[in-house]
Structure 1
Amino acid sequence: MRDKQDYEIYAATLKERNRIAREIHDNVGHLLSRAILITGAMKMTNQISSLRETFDSLDSSLGEAMDSIRKSVHDLHDDAVDLKKSLEELITDFTFCPVDFSYHMAKTLPREVKYNVIAIVKEALNNVIKHSNATLVRLTVSEFETLYQVIIEDNGKTPSPDIPTNPLNSNTQGIGLINMTERVKKLKGNITFYRQNAFKIYIKIPKH
């Protein structure tokens, strides 16, 4: 019961952050854009040389304010991404076979970890559809003291005599697996692909 209440509070907080980000973008951002346009027009029509430096300074300050607003909106939106909910939505859309989903992560995670894990899981599920006859996928996302761990495995039988088992090497990876590898490398993590009676992706991402 307590965990459910905590999650509801967390979800409400994320929703409010998204609302604030939209308000800043739609209202404050619009006003700043208008002020920048007006300042630009005044600079073009100004004939008084003594005011040129003032207009340049005003234009620069408004530009910095706009950049700051954009960064704040971007950060608010990124922080509002709920990894668990995003993965659950991917699983709901995945109708190829059932997914056994296990999630053990903190509520606050680095945005880079969230976005890349979402992209990797999406790629992995697409690969199941394209290359497997699986009847079950297991997705486990866990957090430990020094690292994050993602395990994606299916029970599909996909015999390929030209592909070795345990682990697959870089010469036998398709585009999807290469994309996953690049994403994990950006996070300074490790990813291993195994094929032995099924297919398994094992990912470790260090905490920084």
Structure 2
Amino acid sequence: DAMQQIRDSVHDIHRDSLDIRRELQQIQENFTFCRMTSNVAIEQEPDAKVHYTLLAIVREALTNTIKHSDATVVTVSLTEVARQYHMIVTDNGKPKDPRPAETTGIGLVTMEERVRGQGGTIHISASDGFRIFVTLPVAKKEEEA
């Protein structure tokens, strides 16, 4: 039916406009607190929900770096392994606040809830800099579904 075709084509345009490499590059170009590097090695672009979750985590991690550390380098790595996206965000800073980052901050709690709600895992560590390790499932390709 014609309405479904229109919906499908709008959906396809939206999905095609999602480019996590490009968006990470834009974040990197605009992040001036310290040096930031990113590496993306994925076969399948994340679906919209995972895409926005990954970017929200990067933004929250960068905010935490600015607010809570004296980092000189932030690294974002996104890979795809065994139908899972693995993202690691690290910085080399020492926390300004002696309380452990794992137990403080509404942003970290929100990240954990968002990731777990999508069937993923998140581990946050504040030893030797700040580190967030996230896994999220790769959506089935439409031809596989």
TM-score by structure 2 length? 0.83
Contact kept in structure 2, 1:147 and 1:204, CA below 8 Å: yes
CA distance in 1, matches of 2:18, 2:12: 10
Rg larger in 1 or in 2?
A: 1
Q: Which residue of 1 aligns with 2:143?
A: none
Q: Which residue of 2 aligns with 1:155?
A: 92
Is 2:51 the partner of 1:114?
A: yes
Residue number among 38, 42, 46 corresponding to 1:101 in the alignment: 38
CA distance in 2, matches of 1:128, 1:173: 14
2:87 alignment partner, SS class: strand
- Between Structure 1 and Structure 2, which shows a larger proportion of helix residues? 1
Q: CA deviation at 1:79?
A: 2.7
* CA spacing shift, 1:188–1:173, aligned 2, 3 Å: farther
* Superposed counterparts of 1:79-90, under 5 Å: 79-90=16-27
- Between Structure 1 and Structure 2, which shows a larger proportion of strand residues? 2
* CA spacing shift, 1:155–1:98, aligned 2, 3 Å: same
**Structure 2 residue ranges without an equivalent (≥5):** 140-145
Q: CA deviation at 1:115?
A: 1.8
Contact kept in structure 1, 2:28 and 2:37, CA below 8 Å: no
**Structure 1 residue ranges without an equivalent (≥5):** 1-60
**Deviation readout 1:1-23 (Å, 9 max, x if unpaired):** xxxxxxxxxxxxxxxxxxxxxxx
Is 2:72 the partner of 1:135?
A: yes
Contact kept in structure 1, 2:57 and 2:111, CA below 8 Å: yes
Same amino acid, percent of matched pairs: 37
* CA spacing shift, 1:173–1:72, aligned 2, 3 Å: farther
CA distance in 1, matches of 2:108, 2:60: 8
* Superposed counterparts of 1:49-64, under 5 Å: none
1:152 alignment partner, SS class: strand
CA RMSD, 1 decimal: 2.3
Contact kept in structure 1, 2:68 and 2:96, CA below 8 Å: no
CA distance in 1, matches of 2:17, 2:41: 18
Q: CA deviation at 1:71?
A: 5.8
Contact kept in structure 2, 1:189 and 1:204, CA below 8 Å: yes
Is 2:144 the partner of 1:207?
A: no
Q: CA deviation at 1:127?
A: 1.5
* CA spacing shift, 1:193–1:108, aligned 2, 3 Å: closer
CA distance in 2, matches of 1:83, 1:161: 34
